[in-house]
């Protein structure tokens, strides 16, 4: 049985080498590690905006068509799971803030193989997301300005946001502050205006169509049965990915512990308002089986029902903002995970080098290069290579959450033994809720294996295949490193006795 790692030897937290407030990034580096360039307002908006992905605007229509008003239960169940997982992650990250977040925690709690595997899978997920979001944003921009081809817009968007991330972490934070701010204002306005219409106090809206009766009048609250709630979970679970970004970004703030604590404690109302609140308004404004929901999208259809002019263009602007926000954060997140992997020796050492502004330049460039390659595949081989990339990264969110659960089970004991005063955020009902969360994640993965209609089985199997390949590489590397370490120790022993 291996001995438990300690917080002192973890080395990835605040004040450690390569982290804000730490020492130089290491031999051969010309920077001073990551710097505390994110302000409190940046962190607050990153935390709020992180839970509002483009998937909420684009993907919710499929969930509503599948589960009817019961999709609210699907969102509530996934939202509860995300709250619990974020609480676990918040407990570990508040005790030891680091740019590697859950990957660094897994490295210490479960072993280097776990940190290596989940770190690279997470990086892979986000660089594929770069291609998906760049293509989606380019499609909207081409519709506005068709003189520039779609691939040209994708290139422009990627270059601009890459340049933003290369300047400084503060420029990333500033861009994300405004991107997230637009999303928050848009959703807030939608909920207020739609809510007034639902309760019949908004002028010019047909009260016979908008109202609470839409929750039950069209086949009941669960028109396709209780089983549709599970199918709905499969369709909405991936739109929650991104809530963990705040814990990665906290490592580059002036007070990481406070930032993590604040982000963790506010996750409940953020999910409750932005996800459950907005979806509730949608299914109350329109019957769930309205053709416009699937044809135009749930939010566009809802706004159309209010008689608001230029609804489609308004939503295109909001979706574009969400896409750019996701792209911006995806590039930031992928590069910081690559930076953390480089610092731990799980990636090329150049990934851990920073510029004088505290920017991991090589990690950013490597991430965006893969993103460019994926964009090329999306245009050249959309139904083969790119489809494989998307499906093989699709279940990574669930893998990440599962690793967080198992890491927290062990890290709680480590923190209590080494530095109990750092337990400023505590997981509720430990360890029972942690085990229950892990069981629910495993159940969702198992249920996805039975889903052939929405490609759930393909997504899980391909994601497991990629995870298995990365895991094998991790185990082989660990064994080779162990043998080298043993050989070096033997050589030192012979030198001493010679």
DSSP codes, 309-337:
TTHHHHHHHHHHHHHHHHHHHHHHHHHHH
Q: Which residues of 11-41 are buried (b: 16+ CB within 10 A; e: fewer)?
A: bbbbebebbbebeebbeebebbbbbbbbeee
φ, ψ (nearest 5 deg) of residue 146: -65, -10
Size of the chain, expressed as the number of residues it contains: 498
Q: Tokens 């977040």 map to which residue?
A: 101
pLDDT in tens, 486-496: 555 454 445 44
**Residue 25: predicted pLDDT:** 40
Q: Which residues of 468-488 are buried (b: 16+ CB within 10 A; e: fewer)?
A: eebbeebeeeeeeeeeeeeee
DSSP label at 354?
-
Q: Which residues of 431-449 are buried (b: 16+ CB within 10 A; e: fewer)?
A: eeebeebbebbeebbebbe
**Residue 403: predicted pLDDT:** 97
pLDDT in tens, 321-379: 988 888 888 899 999 999 999 999 999 999 999 998 889 999 999 999 998 898 888 88
Which tokens hold the place of 276?
């459950």
Q: Indicate the range of 30-34, 277-281, 410-414 predicted with least confidence.
A: 30-34
Half-sphere CA count of 248, side-chain side, radius 13 A: 27
| Separation of CA 453 from chain center | 25
Which tokens hold the place of 356?
């004088």
- What's the chain's average pLDDT? 85
Distance CA 113, CA 29 (A): 26
Task: Give percent above pLDDT 90 in the chain.
Answer: 43
Distance CA 158, CA 153 (A): 8
Question: What string of DSSP letters covers 223-266?
Answer: TT-THHHHHHHHHHGGGGTTTTHHHHHGGGBS-HHHHHHHHHHT
Residue 20 predicted with pLDDT over 70: no
Distance CA 411, CA 108 (A): 8
Residue 271 predicted with pLDDT over 70: yes
Residue 49 predicted with pLDDT over 70: yes
pLDDT in tens, 98-137: 878 899 999 999 999 999 999 999 999 999 988 888 888 8
Q: What pTM does this model have?
A: 0.88
**Residue 191: predicted pLDDT:** 92
Half-sphere CA count of 92, side-chain side, radius 13 A: 35
pLDDT in tens, 160-187: 999 999 998 889 889 889 988 898 898 8
Which band of pLDDT confidence, cut at 50, 70 and 90, is reported for residue 15? very low
What is the torsional sign of CA 230, 234, 236, 239?
positive
**Residue 476: predicted pLDDT:** 93
**Residue 209: predicted pLDDT:** 73
Helix axis angle for 298-305 and 54-67, nearest 10°, is: 80
pLDDT in tens, 418-446: 999 999 999 999 999 999 999 999 999 99
Which band of pLDDT confidence, cut at 50, 70 and 90, is reported for residue 31? low
Distance CA 23, CA 26 (A): 8
Nearest C-alpha neighbor of 79 from the set 277, 225, 222: 277
- Answer whether the bond into residue 431 is a cis peptide, omega within 30°: yes
Distance CA 251, CA 308 (A): 43
**Residue 487: predicted pLDDT:** 55
For the structural domain made of 40-482, what CATH number should be given?
A: 1.20.1740.10
Residue 392 predicted with pLDDT over 90: no
**Residue 48: predicted pLDDT:** 75
Residue 9 predicted with pLDDT over 50: no
Do residues 377 and 56 lie in contact, with contact meaning Cβ atoms separated by under 8 Å? no
Residue 67 predicted with pLDDT over 50: yes
Question: What string of DSSP letters covers 189-208?
Answer: HHHHHHHHHHTT-STT--TT
DSSP label at 221?
S
Distance CA 312, CA 296 (A): 8
**Residue 326: predicted pLDDT:** 87
Which band of pLDDT confidence, cut at 50, 70 and 90, is reported for residue 5? very low
From the CB of residue 1, how many other CB atoms can be counted at a distance below 10 Å?
3
Torsion of CA 180, 186, 188, 194, to 10 degrees: -160
Do residues 330 and 126 lie in contact, with contact meaning Cβ atoms separated by under 8 Å? yes
φ, ψ (nearest 5 deg) of residue 207: -65, -20
The residues that bridge with 253 in the sheet, in sequence order, are 38
pLDDT in tens, 194-219: 999 888 887 766 556 788 999 998 89
Residue 272 predicted with pLDDT over 70: yes
pLDDT in tens, 399-425: 999 999 999 999 999 999 999 999 999
Which tokens hold the place of 402?
């599962």
Do residues 310 and 321 lie in contact, with contact meaning Cβ atoms separated by under 8 Å? no
**Residue 296: predicted pLDDT:** 84
Nearest C-alpha neighbor of 407 from the set 91, 120, 126, 94: 91
């Amino acid at each position: 049985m291996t001995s438990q790692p300690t917080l002192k030897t973890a080395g990835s937290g605040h004040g450690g080498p390569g982290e804000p407030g730490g020492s130089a990034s290491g031999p051969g580096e010309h920077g001073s590690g990551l710097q505390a360039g994110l302000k409190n307002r940046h962190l607050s908006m990153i935390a709020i905006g992180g839970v509002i992905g483009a998937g909420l605007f684009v993907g919710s229509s499929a969930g509503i068509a599948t589960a009817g008003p019961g999709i609210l239960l699907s969102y509530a169940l996934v939202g509860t799971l995300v709250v619990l997982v974020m609480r676990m992650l918040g407990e570990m990250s508040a005790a030891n803030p680091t740019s590697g977040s859950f990957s660094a925690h897994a490295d210490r709690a479960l072993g280097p193989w776990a940190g290596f595997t989940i770190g690279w899978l997470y990086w892979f997920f986000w660089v594929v997301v770069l291609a998906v979001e760049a293509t989606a944003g380019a499609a909207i921009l081409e519709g506005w300005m068709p003189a520039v081809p779609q691939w040209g817009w994708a290139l422009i968007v990627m270059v601009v946001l890459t340049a933003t991330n290369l300047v400084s972490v503060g420029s990333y934070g500033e861009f994300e502050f405004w991107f997230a701010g637009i999303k928050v204002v848009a959703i807030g306005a939608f909920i207020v205006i739609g809510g007034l219409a639902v309760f019949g106090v908004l002028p010019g809206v047909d009260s016979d169509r908008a109202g609470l009766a839409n929750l039950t009048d069209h086949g009941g609250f669960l028109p396709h049965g209780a089983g549709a709630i599970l199918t709905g979970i499969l369709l909405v679970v991936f739109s929650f990915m991104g809530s963990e970004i705040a814990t990665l970004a906290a490592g580059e703030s002036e007070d990481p512990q406070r930032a993590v604590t604040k982000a963790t404690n506010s996750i409940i109302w953020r999910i409750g308002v932005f996800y459950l609140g907005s979806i509730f308004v949608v299914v109350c404004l329109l019957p769930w089986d309205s053709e416009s929901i699937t044809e135009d999208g749930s939010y566009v259809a809802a706004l159309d029902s209010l008689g608001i002019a230029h609804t489609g263009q308004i939503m295109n602007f909001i979706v574009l903002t969400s896409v750019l926000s996701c792209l911006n954060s995806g590039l930031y997140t992928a590069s910081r995970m690559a930076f953390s992997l480089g610092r731990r020796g799980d990636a090329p050492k150049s990934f851990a080098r920073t510029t004088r502004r505290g920017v991991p330049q090589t990690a950013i460039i490597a991430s965006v290069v893969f993103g460019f390659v994926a964009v090329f595949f999306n245009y050249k081989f959309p139904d083969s290579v790119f489809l494989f990339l998307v499906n093989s990264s699709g279940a990574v969110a669930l893998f990440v959450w599962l690793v967080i659960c198992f890491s927290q089970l062990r890290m709680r004991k480590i923190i209590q033994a080494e530095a109990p005063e750092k337990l400023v955020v505590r997981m509720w009902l430990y360890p029972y809720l942690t085990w229950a969360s892990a069981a629910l994640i495993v159940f969702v993965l198992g249920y996805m294996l039975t889903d052939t209609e929405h490609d759930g089985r393909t997504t899980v199997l391909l994601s497991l295949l990629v995870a298995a390949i990365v895991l094998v590489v991790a185990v082989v590397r660990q064994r080779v490193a162990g043998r080298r370490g043993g050989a070096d120790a033997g050589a030192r022993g012979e030198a001493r006795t010679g």
